[in-house]
Amino acid sequence: MLSLAKTITTDVLVVGGGGAGLRSAIAACETNPKLKVTLLSKVYPMRSHTVAAEGGAAAVTQAHDSLQAHFDDTVSGSDWLADQSVVDYFVKHAFDELVQLEHWGCPWSRQPSGDVQVRRFGGMKTERTWFAADKTGFHILHTLFQTSLKYSGIQRLDEYFLLDLLVHEQRCYGVLAIDIASGDLVQIQAASVILATGGAGRLYQFNTNGGIVTGDGMALAYRHGVALRDMEFVQYHPTGLPGSGILITEACRGEGGILLNKDGYRYLQDYGLGPETPPGQPQNKTMELGPRDKLSQAFWHEQQQGRTIQHPQGEVVHLDLRHLGQRYLLERLPFICELAKAYVNVDPVKSPIPIRPAVHYTMGGILTDANCATSIRGLYAVGECASVGLHGANRLGSNSLTELLVFGKVAGREAARLASEPSQPAADSLLSTLTTQALAPLQQLHNSQGSERWQPLRQQLAASMEQGCGIYRSEAGLKETLTCLAQLKQRYQQLRLGDSGKAFNTDLLHALELGFGLDVAEAMCQAALERKESRGAHQRQEPGLTNRNDQDFLRHSLAFYQTRPGARIEWQAVDTSLSPPAERLYGGQRPRGQSSAGQQPTDNPPKESR
């Protein structure tokens, strides 16, 4: 029989030591220095996947840029599925947060004058992306982690695995966790809990995510009745390495890299992203700097037409950086040079890098309001695991690192506020009932006499998601994947562990992560099935569904957990109070009905041409 080894009591519990978790822990301390803030993470904070972000973080910085422009880019990038007051708040607070990080020591790249340097980024009309060479996430994460050491109010529980939330009648009382080193079960009581557990990219076969990005927090909130919003929107990054999926940052294209098919042709001009720009002279929102979804879709079409290149690890196209020259590459993209050499044995100075689309980012997540609060009192969510309403159907690169900071601060502040109010602690009897319930799945895994192993199940999950819920979707494909998921869930019941020890039982942790992943995958597929239109990262293949359909689907999907297979989907209105929906246009495209003679649009859709 499993039993608790210890109980910890705290005021604010932050689950997740990535950018979002660290930023919210610091904000909670600053809001009320008297509070006990506990930061729990299944890996040491600086191992969190924020560390892998390369490109940069966006905020309006230059005099000729404007908040309106950042707003417009984000809203049109989201294919009008972002909540506009949230976007408005975000763009207004972005700059201050990046400055805050600068004051904490982040080594942002600089201009000769000593001012912060900004770079171009896909889907952004103006240069507004701050960067620290090509290791922006790494520097942000280490700056936050090191700064967090200054706050004596923050107590860390490194290498603790969140097992379940303790929720009763829409109120969260804390969590149950495994101390990974000892295997001990620990109950943590908290007045407020912030989930900052990151995305779920590992549900797919080819992805740019680290092994820990398995959707744990999403699944737990979901199982306790919180909706997962907009889960059908999964961003493919157009440039991952074949095989591993390791990311080759968009900044390569921002700096002037070009994409070539097997004929050495810059195929993006055939997909509404032209006119062709001279190599090494990138133009915002055009060609290689078009948005990610369009670029990944273009790859898919090229592959269908047989114009991709065969590589030992699958079909690829080429990312050519050679014209940028060795000096520039080593100064601006040193990490990319290192990665390409190590993982595909290519020196970008001398040869083009083979690349293919890979799953990168989950736009959807745990539904929160603009204050990062979920429908459960005392439970907050922030960062990639959350859906605060910023990204809609497609996230713009470099908006999410800033999101971690802007909304991390909000989440920490709100959680601290709640924890500062007097409240009734849960009765011991209630906590012990909740704990017993939470232990049931673990008990079952330990006692199982089944014969299934998690590894093949996880492989089948990833392959099936790639197959049925990938760049292009169809009813038949989605239904097939949903059937597969239902079967995998059945087989999961027969799972048997290969490690019966307690200390560092990674076999057990991977099995639990797989269980979380199966639930999240189901929410994604069900929402994708019921969104019978194409918008942003969600593209349906069936005739009649290949376009955006605002009449029926200018709405968020909300997926609710149910014990029988599949999720229950509801729809929620989108906040379009500031900018009515218009077409998403890139490259030299003009809004429909507007002659090329340069007539100005009359309403206020963003002017995106050029």
Partner 1 sequence: MPTTEIRLQRYRPEQDNAPHWQDFRVEYDDSTSVLDALEQIKAEQDSSVSYRWSCRMAICGSCGVMVDGVPKLGCKTFLRDYPKGLTLAPLSHFPIEKDLIVDMSRFLAHLSAIKPYLIAEAAPKGKPYRQTPAQLARYKQFSNCINCGLCYSACPQFGLKPDFLGPAAIALAHRYNLDSRDQGKSERMAQLNSDNGVWGCTFVGYCSTVCPKGVDPAAAVNQGKIASTLDGVIQWFKPGKETSK
Active site residues: 237, 253
139 binds, among partner 1, ligand FAD, none (CB under 5 to 8 A by kind): partner 1
Return the structure tokens found at 91: 């763009």
CB 192 within 8 A of CB 415: yes
Restricting to residues 151-210, name those near ligand FAD by CB under 6 A.
Answer: 161-162, 196-199, 208-209
DSSP E strands, 115-227: 118-119, 129-130, 154-158, 160-168, 171-179, 184-195
108 touches which of partner 1, ligand FAD, none (CB within 5 to 8 A by kind)? partner 1
Find the binder of ligand FAD among 84, 136, 284, 286 (CB under 6 A). 136
Distance of CA 66 to the CA centre of its chain: 26
Which residue's structure tokens are 């829409």?
170
Q: Establish if 439 lies at the interface with partner 1 (CB under 8 A).
A: no
What's the closest the beta carbon of residue 503 comes to partner 1, in angstroms? 5
DSSP 402-465: HHHHHHHHHHHHHHHHHHHS--PPPPHHHHHHHHHHHHHHHHHHHH----B-HHHHHHHHHHHH
Tokens of 139: 């520097």
**From residue 179, how far is each of 154, 340, 561 by CA, in Å?**
18, 37, 28
Site for partner 1 contains 347 (CB under 8 A): no
| Residue 51 CA to its chain's centroid (Å) | 13
Does position 18 interact with ligand FAD (CB under 6 A)? The reply is yes
Minimum distance, C-beta of residue 185 to partner 1, in the bound complex (Å) = 16
**What would the two tokens of residue 52 be?**
């892998």
CB of 181 to ligand FAD, least distance (A): 13
Q: Comparing C-alpha atoms, which of 79, 74, 84, 73 is closest to residue 577?
A: 84
Q: What is the number of residues in the chain?
A: 610
Query: Is 499 near partner 1 (CB under 8 A)?
Result: yes
Mapped to the 3 state alphabet, what secondary structure does 55-88 carry? CCEECCCCCCCCHHHHHHHHHHHCCCCCCHHHHH
Give the span between the Cα atoms of 501 and 180, in whole angstroms: 11
Of ligand FAD, partner 1, none, which one sits near residue 41, judging by CB under 5 to 8 A according to partner kind?
ligand FAD
With CB under 6 A as the contact rule, which of the stretches 41-49, 105-113, 285-293, 323-331 interacts with ligand FAD? 41-49
Residue 121 or residue 271: which is nearer to ligand FAD going by CB?
121
User: Residue 114 or residue 264: which is nearer to partner 1 going by CB?
Assistant: 114
Interaction with ligand FAD in 211-240: which residues (CB under 6 A)? 212-213, 216-217
Task: State the Cα–Cα distance between residues 450 and 232, nearest whole angstrom.
Answer: 33
Nearer to partner 1, 100 or 609 (CB): 100
Q: Is 296 in the site for ligand FAD (CB under 6 A)?
A: no
- The contact set with ligand FAD (CB under 6 A) reads 15-21, 40-43, 45, 48-50, 52-57, 136-137, 161-162, 196-199, 208-209, 212-213, 216-217, 247, 360-361, 383-385, 397-401, 404
- The contact set with partner 1 (CB under 8 A) reads 43-44, 46-49, 51-52, 96, 99, 102-105, 107-116, 135, 138-139, 142, 146-147, 149-150, 158, 181, 210-212, 243-244, 246-247, 312-313, 335, 338-339, 342-345, 453, 455, 497-499, 501-507
